[in-house]
Amino acid sequence: MLLSTTATIEGKKIVKHLGIAKGNTIRARHIGRDIMAILRHIVGGEITDYTKMMAESREQAIDRMIEHGQSLGANAVVSVRFTTSMIMGGASEILAYGTAVVVE
């Protein structure tokens, strides 16, 4: 599966648009991570546990978007974007989406 943040893929021709491919995940914070985050907030610096959690969440959302694109018959997804939203206190959704296409 080819992925692109642009509307085209260099060297490929889009021959069919199949609609929106999307994948999401919702993650909640962990009390242990929150305690470390509060301490890090006091002294400053990166909250590595949250960085890791968000990176894993993005990868899961991408994997789900790819699966959805494949179920539509796509061999590529163009104009890939991410969005994040707060679902409730301590829980966020990451959504990966783009246009499912067939390229040659």
Angle, to 10 degrees, between the axis of helix 48-71 and the axis of helix 31-43? 130
Sign of CA dihedral 30, 34, 36, 40: positive
List, for residues 41-54, the tens digit of each pLDDT value: 676 777 787 888 88
- Rounded to two decimals, the pTM is 0.85
Q: Which residue matches tokens 């301590």?
A: 90
Cα 31 from Cα 21, distance rounded (Å):
33
* Each residue's pLDDT expressed in tens, for the chain with a length of 104 residues: 999 999 999 999 999 999 999 999 998 866 666 666 666 667 677 778 788 888 999 999 999 999 999 999 999 999 999 999 988 777 889 999 999 999 99
Evaluate the CA torsion angle 18, 56, 41, 43 in order and state its sign.
negative
**Domains of the chain and any CATH numbers:** 2-103 (3.30.110.70)
